[in-house]
Amino acid sequence: MAKNISDNERDAKVFALYEQLVEIEERLIPTGLHVFGRPSSAGEKIDLLKMVASFDRPESGVRALPEGLLDEAVREFVTSGADPAVSLLEQKGVTAETTRPVFSLLETISAKLQTNNELDSLLRALRGEFIEPGPGADIVQNPDILPTGRNTHAINPYAVPSAVAFARAEAVARSLLERYQNENGRYPEAMALVLWGLDNIKTQGEGVAQALWLLGTRPVRDALNRTTNIEAIPLDQLGRPRIDVVMTVSGIFRDLFSPTVQLLDKAVRLVAQLDEPLELNYVRKHVLQQVEQEACDVDDAAVRVFSNAPGNYGTNVNFMVMDSQWEREETLGDLFVTRKCFAYGRDSKGRPIEGREARVAMDRALSRVEATYQNIDTFEIGLTDVDHYFEYLGGVSKAVEKRAKARPAIYLSDTLSREVKIRTLEETVRLETRAKTLNPKWYEGMLKHGFRGVAEIENHVSNTFGWSATADAVDDWIYAEVANTFLFDESMLERLRDLNPHSAHALAQRLLEANGRGYWDVDQSVLEKLREISRSLEDQLEGVI
Ligand code: BEZ
Ligand code: MG
């Protein structure tokens, strides 16, 4: 095959490979767990400051450092201080005027990273004393969260989405639709979105704003500057159809963002009523279709915001997967709908619908979905770090697959890099696996924590497995490399055995389950080796050896 490609094609392939390697190299990953009360090490500090310095912060007059000089400049700053770093960049033609503000921000952050009030604050809290409040976010997005050890407060839901969040969301919604269009030659008529509370706190409502953009609407503030209303962006400004959006919000979102739930529901109902051509307004198209075909009223046909029953949280899809308590994959999607089919919003007479069970409405809404999506906005927690991404995005995708009779396209955004990036689920799982689970920098960082570190590695593998179960999104090589790295390398296996044989055994069992359920196609000889390792770990746990 190599002989048949032209020089240009070869160059393009090599360049694409180069881009992928750079993407993995540049990915900021947590290298170990946070130890309560302990400030970050010098190495961690350099990585963090580089990330902070790579973003423009127009609100505080800070410009990002030039990409090519970032590493050198931040190292100079950490070893010698702000002045030498400014001079270094001046020699390279970047004026002191542009770099002073960013180094002064880095100085503030550096100093605050040295302070750690966590233990002291915990003791004060236990004594019932005052703890100074501070915002909740990640350090890169909002350096004002430092120093840690304060009483984290959220935000005012009436301020969501903020003007900045709404502006940023436009590019994300555009890229998302472009990606779908490139792959399918048209826009998706309906999409399912997952919205979480903590994420929308951190970003002041980026996920909410993305939903509004897809619908082709914008928030309107009232006389008290509260976001309580919605207006439609005219179609000629929007330049594309309005997408039908089915929203599953977490229990936390429902509790924290009650006015926002109302806003989202209002946006859908507003769009459904617009007198526009159906091929440019998929919400209206679907609502009218449903009213005609099923003799239901517009109120029921326009339900798009779903969550758990009042007082209830989570999908339980994660527990079902982790405990291997399922036979058919569709059970996972059905469980998602059972847990999440409660409607929120208001009917056309303004009467609140607060958690009414609406299974038929959710089934209908999901049956039209062609793409599912979740906004990722943090460096610290990704797809395989916790079981919540697959329980939500995986759960809704599996529910769509049965109801729409086709697997949806599944996307995630990465609003962390300089440019907005939309990735498919498969691409994101690959990137996370390379950047974390199979990356020695990550797993050695975890192994420093002994017992807990091995449990974290096993968790990552199980969460990866969750993406097989809910979305068939894991390549064979991922399981093969997990087996090679952690179990077939004798000295590594010894370390895991010593530190935490329970998790090592669970890891071997999960790999066998991946094969047993048809997610990992692998030779019998490999399986035999795995079974052997699993048996010997079991013997160890039972005290036989
Ligand atoms: C939330 O912030 O809404 C959330 C947090 C953890 C798991 C699921 C949702
Ligand atoms: Mg497969």
Cis ω before 58 (30° cut-off from 0)? no
Amino acid at 289: Q
pLDDT of residue 2 exceeding 60: no
Q: Are 513 and 507 in contact (CB under 8 A)?
A: no
How do residues 251-267 score in pLDDT, each as one tens digit?
Answer: 999 999 999 999 999 99
198 CA to centre of ligand 1 in angstroms: 6
Q: How many C-beta atoms surround the C-beta of residue 48 within 10 A?
A: 22
Q: Which atom of ligand 1 is nearest to the CA of 256?
A: 3
Region 146-164: mean pLDDT is 85
How do residues 464-478 score in pLDDT, each as one tens digit?
Answer: 999 999 999 999 999
- Distance, CA of 158 to CA of 249 (rounded, Å): 17
Burial 207-235 (b: 16+ CB within 10 A, else e): bbbbbbbbbbbbbeeeeeeebbebebeeb
Q: Which of 33-37, 391-395, 432-436 has the lowest mean pLDDT?
A: 33-37
Q: Are 141 and 202 in contact (CB under 8 A)?
A: yes
pLDDT of res. 229: 95
pLDDT of residue 128 exceeding 80: yes
Region 347-374: mean pLDDT is 94
How do residues 490-536 score in pLDDT, each as one tens digit?
Answer: 999 999 999 999 999 999 999 999 999 999 999 999 999 999 999 99
Q: Are 88 and 75 in contact (CB under 8 A)?
A: no
pLDDT of res. 214: 98
H or E, element range at 92? none
How do residues 447-470 score in pLDDT, each as one tens digit?
Answer: 999 999 999 999 999 999 999 999
CB 395 near ligand 1, within 6 Å? no
Locus of tokens 């066998």: 512
CB 198 near ligand 1, within 6 Å? yes
Best probe residue, ligand 1, of 198, 317, 340, 385 (max atoms within 8 Å of C-beta): 198
Amino acid at 322: M
pLDDT of res. 19: 87
Residue 388 binned pLDDT confidence (cut-offs 50, 70, 90): very high
Region 10-37: mean pLDDT is 84
Relative to the alpha carbon of 307, which ligand is closest?
1
Q: Are 203 and 135 in contact (CB under 8 A)?
A: no
Say which residues have a Cβ less than 8 Å from residue 274's Cβ, sequence separation at least 6: 232, 242, 281, 284
pLDDT of res. 47: 85
How do residues 280-332 score in pLDDT, each as one tens digit?
Answer: 999 999 999 999 999 889 999 999 999 999 999 999 999 999 999 999 999 99
pLDDT of residue 545 exceeding 80: no
Relative to the alpha carbon of 313, which ligand is closest?
1
- Distance, CA of 245 to CA of 99 (rounded, Å): 43
Relative to the alpha carbon of 520, which ligand is closest?
2
Helices of type H across 472-523: 476-482, 490-499, 501-516
pLDDT of res. 252: 95
Relative to the alpha carbon of 522, which ligand is closest?
2
Determine which residue's CA is closest to atom 7 belonging to ligand 1. 388
In percent, the amount of the chain with pLDDT more than 70 equals: 98
CB 390 near ligand 1, within 6 Å? no
- Distance, CA of 528 to CA of 488 (rounded, Å): 12
DSSP string, 15-81: HHHHHHHHHHHH-----SPPPTT-PPPHHHHHHHHHHHTTS-BGGGTBPPPPGGGHHHHHHHHHHH-
Region 220-231: mean pLDDT is 91
pLDDT of res. 329: 97
CB 253 near ligand 1, within 6 Å? yes
Amino acid at 312: N
Q: Which atom of ligand 1 is nearest to the CA of 251?
A: 3
Say which residues have a Cβ less than 8 Å from residue 60's Cβ, sequence separation at least 6: 101, 105
Q: Which atom of ligand 1 is nearest to the CA of 391?
A: 8
pLDDT of res. 417: 65
Q: Distance of CA 515 to CAs 301, 429, 474, Å?
A: 42, 18, 12
327 CA to centre of ligand 2 in angstroms: 17
DSSP string, 300-344: HHT--EEEPSTT----SHHHHHHTT--SSTHHHHHHHHHHH-EEE
Q: Are 448 and 495 in contact (CB under 8 A)?
A: no
pLDDT of res. 418: 64
pLDDT of res. 154: 65
Relative to the alpha carbon of 390, which ligand is closest?
1
As beta bridge partners, residue 133 has: 151
How do residues 402-435 score in pLDDT, each as one tens digit?
Answer: 999 999 999 999 876 667 899 999 999 999 999 9
Q: Are 245 and 215 in contact (CB under 8 A)?
A: yes
Best probe residue, ligand 1, of 155, 193, 196 (max atoms within 8 Å of C-beta): 196
| pLDDT, the chain, mean | 93
Q: Which atom of ligand 1 is nearest to the CA of 199?
A: 2
388 CA to centre of ligand 1 in angstroms: 7
Locus of tokens 């950047």: 435
Residue 41 binned pLDDT confidence (cut-offs 50, 70, 90): confident
418 CA to centre of ligand 2 in angstroms: 32
CB 196 near ligand 1, within 6 Å? yes
CB 364 near ligand 1, within 6 Å? no
Region 60-67: mean pLDDT is 88
